[in-house]
Amino acid sequence: MSNESLSQRQQRCRKIISKLKKEYPGATTALEHGNPLQLLIATILSAQCTDERVNRVTPALFAKYRNVADFANADQRELEQEIRSTGFYRNKAKNIIACSRMILEHYQGRVPEKMEELLSLPGVGRKTANCVLGGAFGRAEGVVVDTHVERLSQRFGLTKETTPEKIEVDLMKVVPKREWYHFSNLLISHGRAICNARKPNCPECVIQNLCPSSKKFLRLYWR
């Protein structure tokens, strides 16, 4: 990244996206949901938790709490136990109830479709807001930066930053806006399949020649 101009990073990023699209044509959010509210709740639950674990919890949760009023009127202790396995369950339950009440009181019971409005909801940061805007409404106002996106964007040399907020700013400069939401899903898919945290499978990576970190990791296979 240090020797690349912004335009060069943009060009390389477009090539990365093109190859990953062919590799993961169905890449989308792994969080199972049927409407914007369910995606919002699932994304809140996904903090410090795997999508797989969230997907084990949400079917029973969404069967019991069918709309925003149900969540707004939930008993916090009951909800805590129902989402306990996702971790940080007390804070998550508190935020889900408070968030639902605010949606009822300020947004006529509908999940808001604007970034600033979503960010006003308890427990909702930019990652959650970007997930909901992209996944539920098809709107790209930023890039979802989870642990996979953070790790891979650094390895790909698209950013040197270490905080999600600053990484997102860098990615918004090099990723075409029309790809902002899809880009995150592509990186998440690639992170799970190939570019894992400890030992990325660089010999099988379709973007090995576009990744400045590949030479370093390939040495692990040549020893």
Distance, in Å, from the CA atom of 5 to the CA atom of 213, rounded to the nearest integer, reads 18
List pLDDT tens digits, range 88-107.
999 999 999 999 999 999 99
| pLDDT at residue 217, as a whole number | 86
List pLDDT tens digits, range 62-84.
999 999 999 999 999 999 999 99
Residue 19: pLDDT band with limits 50, 70, 90: very high
Sequential DSSP letters for 179-220: GHHHHHHHHHHHHHHT--SSS--GGG-TTGGG-TTHHHHHHH
Q: What is the mean pLDDT of residues 115-137?
A: 96
Examine the pLDDT at 222 and tell me if it is beyond 90.
Answer: no
Distance, in Å, from the CA atom of 211 to the CA atom of 60, rounded to the nearest integer, reads 42
Q: What is the mean pLDDT of residues 112-139?
A: 96
For the beta carbon of residue 150, count every other beta carbon within 10 angstroms: 20
| pLDDT at residue 3, as a whole number | 80
Residue 215: pLDDT band with limits 50, 70, 90: confident
Residue 2: pLDDT band with limits 50, 70, 90: low
**pLDDT > 90 in the chain, percent:** 93
Pick the more confident residue, 155 or 198: 155
Residues recognised as catalytic: 127, 146
Q: What is the mean pLDDT of residues 163-174?
A: 96
Distance, in Å, from the CA atom of 31 to the CA atom of 183, rounded to the nearest integer, reads 16
